[in-house]
Protein backbone atom coordinates (compact mmCIF):
# COMPACT_ATOMS: atom_id res chain seq x y z
CA UNK A 1 0.00 0.00 0.00
CA UNK A 2 1.40 3.37 -1.07
CA UNK A 3 -0.04 6.81 -0.38
CA UNK A 4 -0.62 9.51 2.21
CA UNK A 5 -2.96 9.55 5.19
CA UNK A 6 -4.22 12.83 6.64
CA UNK A 7 -4.45 12.24 10.36
CA UNK A 8 -6.15 14.50 12.89
CA UNK A 9 -3.43 14.31 15.52
CA UNK A 10 -4.74 14.45 19.09
CA UNK A 11 -3.14 16.56 21.80
CA UNK A 12 -0.69 14.77 24.07
CA UNK A 13 0.78 12.52 21.40
CA UNK A 14 3.91 13.07 19.35
CA UNK A 15 4.00 12.96 15.56
CA UNK A 16 6.24 9.90 15.93
CA UNK A 17 3.54 8.18 18.00
CA UNK A 18 1.08 8.60 15.13
CA UNK A 19 3.61 7.30 12.60
CA UNK A 20 4.29 4.27 14.78
CA UNK A 21 0.57 3.47 15.06
CA UNK A 22 0.07 3.62 11.28
CA UNK A 23 3.17 1.51 10.64
CA UNK A 24 2.01 -1.11 13.12
CA UNK A 25 -1.54 -1.23 11.73
CA UNK A 26 -0.37 -1.67 8.13
CA UNK A 27 2.76 -3.69 8.76
CA UNK A 28 4.38 -1.20 6.39
CA UNK A 29 8.13 -1.05 5.76
CA UNK A 30 8.36 2.73 5.56
CA UNK A 31 6.16 5.37 7.18
CA UNK A 32 7.01 9.01 7.84
CA UNK A 33 5.30 12.35 8.43
CA UNK A 34 5.50 15.61 6.51
CA UNK A 35 5.85 18.36 9.11
CA UNK A 36 6.15 17.80 12.86
CA UNK A 37 3.38 18.83 15.24
CA UNK A 38 4.34 19.33 18.89
CA UNK A 39 2.61 17.04 21.42
CA UNK A 40 0.48 20.00 22.57
CA UNK A 41 -0.87 20.63 19.07
CA UNK A 42 -3.74 18.98 17.22
CA UNK A 43 -4.82 18.83 13.61
CA UNK A 44 -3.54 17.99 10.16
CA UNK A 45 -0.58 15.61 10.04
CA UNK A 46 0.29 14.11 6.66
CA UNK A 47 1.59 10.55 7.11
CA UNK A 48 3.31 9.02 4.08
CA UNK A 49 3.31 5.26 3.55
CA UNK A 50 5.94 3.21 1.65
CA UNK A 51 6.65 4.77 -1.81
CA UNK A 52 4.93 7.98 -0.68
CA UNK A 53 7.81 8.65 1.75
CA UNK A 54 9.87 9.57 -1.33
CA UNK A 55 7.57 12.57 -1.83
CA UNK A 56 7.71 13.87 1.76
CA UNK A 57 10.24 16.59 0.90
CA UNK A 58 7.84 18.13 -1.61
CA UNK A 59 5.06 18.33 0.98
CA UNK A 60 7.33 20.00 3.55
CA UNK A 61 7.79 23.07 1.37
CA UNK A 62 4.09 23.98 1.33
CA UNK A 63 2.39 26.72 3.37
CA UNK A 64 0.49 25.99 6.57
CA UNK A 65 -2.59 27.38 8.33
CA UNK A 66 -3.18 27.33 12.08
CA UNK A 67 -5.61 28.43 14.74
CA UNK A 68 -3.56 29.46 17.78
CA UNK A 69 -4.31 30.74 21.25
CA UNK A 70 -1.77 33.04 22.86
CA UNK A 71 -1.52 33.39 26.65
CA UNK A 72 -0.38 36.91 27.47
CA UNK A 73 1.70 37.75 30.53
CA UNK A 74 3.49 34.39 30.78
CA UNK A 75 6.94 33.54 29.44
CA UNK A 76 8.21 29.95 29.48
CA UNK A 77 11.45 28.24 28.46
CA UNK A 78 9.70 26.21 25.75
CA UNK A 79 7.57 29.16 24.54
CA UNK A 80 4.38 27.20 25.27
CA UNK A 81 2.24 26.46 28.33
CA UNK A 82 3.96 23.13 28.98
CA UNK A 83 7.32 24.71 29.74
CA UNK A 84 8.77 26.12 32.94
CA UNK A 85 7.50 29.62 33.72
CA UNK A 86 10.40 32.09 33.72
CA UNK A 87 8.40 35.33 34.01
CA UNK A 88 4.84 36.31 34.77
CA UNK A 89 3.00 39.64 34.83
CA UNK A 90 -0.53 40.99 34.61
CA UNK A 91 -1.18 42.35 31.10
CA UNK A 92 -3.07 45.64 30.97
CA UNK A 93 -3.84 46.10 27.30
CA UNK A 94 -6.62 47.44 25.11
CA UNK A 95 -8.18 45.19 22.48
CA UNK A 96 -7.28 47.65 19.72
CA UNK A 97 -3.60 47.56 20.70
CA UNK A 98 -3.62 43.76 20.75
CA UNK A 99 -5.27 43.46 17.33
CA UNK A 100 -2.98 46.01 15.72
CA UNK A 101 0.12 44.36 17.18
CA UNK A 102 -0.87 40.86 16.09
CA UNK A 103 -1.79 42.00 12.58
CA UNK A 104 1.49 43.93 12.38
CA UNK A 105 3.32 40.62 11.94
CA UNK A 106 1.98 40.13 8.41
CA UNK A 107 4.74 39.97 5.81
CA UNK A 108 8.30 38.72 5.81
CA UNK A 109 9.71 38.60 9.33
CA UNK A 110 12.82 37.36 11.11
CA UNK A 111 12.24 34.60 13.62
CA UNK A 112 14.29 32.39 15.92
CA UNK A 113 13.33 28.74 16.33
CA UNK A 114 12.63 27.72 19.94
CA UNK A 115 15.56 26.26 21.83
CA UNK A 116 13.31 23.27 22.43
CA UNK A 117 12.83 22.37 18.77
CA UNK A 118 14.01 19.84 16.18
CA UNK A 119 16.12 22.40 14.30
CA UNK A 120 19.61 20.94 14.10
CA UNK A 121 22.91 22.42 15.26
CA UNK A 122 26.03 20.43 14.35
CA UNK A 123 23.81 17.51 13.38
CA UNK A 124 21.89 17.34 16.65
CA UNK A 125 18.42 18.78 17.43
CA UNK A 126 18.42 21.94 19.52
CA UNK A 127 16.23 20.38 22.19
CA UNK A 128 18.92 17.78 22.90
CA UNK A 129 21.58 20.48 23.37
CA UNK A 130 19.23 22.43 25.64
CA UNK A 131 18.40 19.40 27.78
CA UNK A 132 22.12 18.80 28.20
CA UNK A 133 22.49 22.31 29.58
CA UNK A 134 24.20 23.72 26.47
CA UNK A 135 22.77 27.18 25.72
CA UNK A 136 22.73 27.74 21.96
CA UNK A 137 21.12 30.81 20.44
CA UNK A 138 19.25 29.69 17.31
CA UNK A 139 20.06 31.85 14.27
CA UNK A 140 17.51 34.27 12.89
CA UNK A 141 15.81 33.15 9.70
CA UNK A 142 13.25 34.65 7.36
CA UNK A 143 9.68 33.34 7.34
CA UNK A 144 6.54 34.81 5.83
CA UNK A 145 3.20 35.46 7.53
CA UNK A 146 0.72 35.60 4.66
CA UNK A 147 -2.31 36.42 6.75
CA UNK A 148 -3.15 36.75 10.44
CA UNK A 149 -6.39 37.79 12.11
CA UNK A 150 -7.56 37.88 15.71
CA UNK A 151 -10.80 35.91 16.15
CA UNK A 152 -11.31 36.24 19.91
CA UNK A 153 -9.91 38.07 22.92
CA UNK A 154 -10.72 36.81 26.40
CA UNK A 155 -7.92 38.26 28.48
CA UNK A 156 -5.31 37.01 28.98
CA UNK A 157 -6.06 34.72 26.00
CA UNK A 158 -5.91 35.85 22.38
CA UNK A 159 -7.01 33.48 19.62
CA UNK A 160 -5.94 34.09 16.02
CA UNK A 161 -5.84 32.39 12.64
CA UNK A 162 -2.59 32.48 10.72
CA UNK A 163 -1.40 31.41 7.27
CA UNK A 164 2.38 31.13 6.98
CA UNK A 165 5.33 29.75 5.06
CA UNK A 166 7.16 26.55 5.84
CA UNK A 167 9.49 26.70 8.82
CA UNK A 168 7.36 29.14 10.81
CA UNK A 169 7.19 28.37 14.52
CA UNK A 170 3.91 29.50 16.05
CA UNK A 171 5.47 29.21 19.51
CA UNK A 172 8.07 31.78 18.48
CA UNK A 173 5.39 33.95 16.90
CA UNK A 174 3.40 33.97 20.15
CA UNK A 175 6.50 34.86 22.19
CA UNK A 176 7.40 37.66 19.76
CA UNK A 177 3.86 39.10 19.91
CA UNK A 178 4.02 39.05 23.70
CA UNK A 179 7.40 40.79 23.69
CA UNK A 180 6.17 43.48 21.31
CA UNK A 181 3.21 44.11 23.61
CA UNK A 182 5.62 44.40 26.53
CA UNK A 183 4.07 41.73 28.73
CA UNK A 184 5.45 38.53 27.25
CA UNK A 185 3.44 35.58 26.06
CA UNK A 186 3.46 31.90 25.19
CA UNK A 187 1.48 29.47 23.07
CA UNK A 188 -1.49 28.05 24.97
CA UNK A 189 -3.22 26.00 22.28
CA UNK A 190 -2.59 25.16 18.62
CA UNK A 191 -4.46 23.45 15.82
CA UNK A 192 -3.12 22.98 12.30
CA UNK A 193 -6.00 23.51 9.90
CA UNK A 194 -4.08 23.07 6.65
CA UNK A 195 -0.77 21.61 5.59
CA UNK A 196 -0.06 22.30 1.94
CA UNK A 197 -2.74 20.61 -0.16
CA UNK A 198 -4.44 18.94 2.79
CA UNK A 199 -7.09 20.46 5.05
CA UNK A 200 -8.66 19.46 8.35
CA UNK A 201 -11.76 18.36 6.43
CA UNK A 202 -9.59 15.62 4.88
CA UNK A 203 -8.28 14.40 8.24
CA UNK A 204 -9.36 11.27 10.08
CA UNK A 205 -8.96 10.33 13.72
CA UNK A 206 -7.58 6.92 14.67
CA UNK A 207 -7.98 7.42 18.41
CA UNK A 208 -9.93 4.78 20.27
CA UNK A 209 -10.31 2.47 17.28
CA UNK A 210 -9.73 -1.25 17.68
CA UNK A 211 -7.05 -2.77 15.43
CA UNK A 212 -9.52 -3.98 12.81
CA UNK A 213 -11.44 -0.71 12.67
CA UNK A 214 -8.20 1.28 12.53
CA UNK A 215 -6.93 -0.74 9.55
CA UNK A 216 -10.30 -0.33 7.84
CA UNK A 217 -10.20 3.45 8.32
CA UNK A 218 -6.65 3.65 6.97
CA UNK A 219 -7.40 1.58 3.87
CA UNK A 220 -10.57 3.59 3.17
CA UNK A 221 -8.95 7.01 3.50
CA UNK A 222 -5.42 6.64 2.15
CA UNK A 223 -4.77 9.04 -0.73
CA UNK A 224 -3.00 7.32 -3.67
CA UNK A 225 0.34 8.53 -5.02
CA UNK A 226 -1.20 10.01 -8.14
CA UNK A 227 -3.26 12.44 -6.01
CA UNK A 228 -0.52 13.46 -3.58
CA UNK A 229 0.83 16.47 -5.45
CA UNK A 230 -2.19 18.03 -7.16
CA UNK A 231 -0.46 21.39 -7.48
CA UNK A 232 2.27 20.12 -9.79
CA UNK A 233 1.96 20.24 -13.57
CA UNK A 234 1.42 16.72 -14.87
CA UNK A 235 3.18 15.40 -17.95
CA UNK A 236 1.88 12.03 -19.12
CA UNK A 237 4.41 9.70 -20.72
CA UNK A 238 4.18 6.20 -22.12
CA UNK A 239 5.34 3.21 -20.12
CA UNK A 240 8.62 2.92 -22.03
CA UNK A 241 9.56 6.54 -21.25
CA UNK A 242 8.53 6.09 -17.61
CA UNK A 243 10.77 3.02 -17.32
CA UNK A 244 13.66 4.93 -18.92
CA UNK A 245 13.21 7.77 -16.40
CA UNK A 246 13.30 5.25 -13.57
CA UNK A 247 16.60 3.94 -14.98
CA UNK A 248 18.16 7.41 -15.00
CA UNK A 249 17.00 9.07 -18.23
CA UNK A 250 16.73 12.87 -17.99
CA UNK A 251 13.97 13.93 -20.46
CA UNK A 252 15.08 16.23 -23.26
CA UNK A 253 13.36 18.86 -25.39
CA UNK A 254 12.25 16.24 -27.87
CA UNK A 255 10.41 14.28 -25.19
CA UNK A 256 8.58 17.31 -23.84
CA UNK A 257 7.97 19.11 -27.12
CA UNK A 258 5.19 16.78 -28.22
CA UNK A 259 3.43 16.70 -24.84
CA UNK A 260 1.53 19.97 -25.26
CA UNK A 261 3.02 21.17 -22.01
CA UNK A 262 1.55 24.32 -20.43
CA UNK A 263 3.61 27.45 -19.87
CA UNK A 264 6.49 26.45 -17.62
CA UNK A 265 9.43 28.42 -16.28
CA UNK A 266 12.88 27.34 -15.15
CA UNK A 267 12.67 25.99 -11.60
CA UNK A 268 9.03 24.90 -11.79
CA UNK A 269 8.28 21.49 -10.27
CA UNK A 270 6.51 18.93 -12.47
CA UNK A 271 5.49 15.30 -12.20
CA UNK A 272 5.78 12.60 -14.84
CA UNK A 273 2.90 10.13 -14.77
CA UNK A 274 1.98 7.07 -16.79
CA UNK A 275 -1.24 6.79 -18.74
CA UNK A 276 -2.54 4.72 -15.82
CA UNK A 277 -2.11 7.73 -13.55
CA UNK A 278 0.86 6.47 -11.53
CA UNK A 279 3.65 8.93 -10.70
CA UNK A 280 6.97 7.90 -12.26
CA UNK A 281 9.05 10.87 -11.08
CA UNK A 282 9.11 14.43 -9.79
CA UNK A 283 11.41 16.85 -11.60
CA UNK A 284 12.36 20.50 -11.85
CA UNK A 285 12.49 22.41 -15.11
CA UNK A 286 15.96 23.47 -16.24
CA UNK A 287 14.50 25.08 -19.37
CA UNK A 288 11.34 27.12 -19.90
CA UNK A 289 8.56 26.09 -22.29
CA UNK A 290 9.74 28.78 -24.70
CA UNK A 291 13.31 27.45 -24.65
CA UNK A 292 12.07 23.89 -25.20
CA UNK A 293 10.31 24.97 -28.38
CA UNK A 294 13.47 26.63 -29.75
CA UNK A 295 16.40 24.40 -28.74
CA UNK A 296 17.64 21.11 -30.23
CA UNK A 297 15.62 18.01 -29.44
CA UNK A 298 18.52 16.45 -27.56
CA UNK A 299 18.92 19.37 -25.13
CA UNK A 300 18.21 18.33 -21.55
CA UNK A 301 14.95 19.94 -20.38
CA UNK A 302 14.46 18.77 -16.78
CA UNK A 303 16.33 17.50 -13.76
CA UNK A 304 14.80 14.42 -12.17
CA UNK A 305 14.59 14.89 -8.39
CA UNK A 306 12.86 11.70 -7.25
CA UNK A 307 11.94 8.47 -8.99
CA UNK A 308 9.08 6.23 -7.85
CA UNK A 309 8.68 2.56 -8.62
pLDDT of residue 178: 97
The parts of the chain modelled with pLDDT lower than 50 are none
pLDDT tens-digit profile of 108-151? 999 998 887 777 777 787 878 888 888 888 888 999 999 999 99
Same domain as 47, residue 160: no
Number of domains in the chain: 3
Same domain as 288, residue 240: yes
Same domain as 153, residue 87: yes
Other Cβ atoms within 10 Å of 27 Cβ, number: 8
CA distance 262 to 67: 36
Quote the pTM value.
Answer: 0.89
Same domain as 53, residue 159: no
Catalytically active residues, by annotation? 38
Same domain as 191, residue 109: yes
Q: Which domain holds residue 32?
A: 3-62+197-227
Same domain as 169, residue 103: yes
CA distance 27 to 56: 20
**CATH code (residue 264):** 2.30.130.10
pLDDT tens-digit profile of 151-170? 999 999 999 999 999 999 99
Environment class of residue 209 by beta-carbon count within 10 Å: exposed (0-12), middle (13-18) or buried (19+)?
A: middle
Q: At what angle do helices 211-221 and 15-26 cross, to 10 degrees?
A: 100
Same domain as 294, residue 247: yes
Same domain as 163, residue 71: yes
Same domain as 135, residue 18: no
Same domain as 214, residue 281: no
245: nearest Cα among 231, 255, 259, 234: 255
Same domain as 180, residue 169: yes
Same domain as 169, residue 140: yes
CA distance 253 to 215: 45
**CATH code (residue 133):** 3.30.2350.10
CA distance 55 to 74: 39
Amino acid sequence: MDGVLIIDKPSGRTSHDVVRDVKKSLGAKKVGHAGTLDPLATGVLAVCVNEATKLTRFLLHEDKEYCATLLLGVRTDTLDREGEVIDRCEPHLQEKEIRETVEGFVGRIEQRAPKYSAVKFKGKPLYKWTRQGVDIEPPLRDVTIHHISVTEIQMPYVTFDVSCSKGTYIRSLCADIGDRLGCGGCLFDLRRMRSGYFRQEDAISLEGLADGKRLEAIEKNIIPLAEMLPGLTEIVVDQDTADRIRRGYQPDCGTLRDKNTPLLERGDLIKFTTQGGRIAAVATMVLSSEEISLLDEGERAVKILRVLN
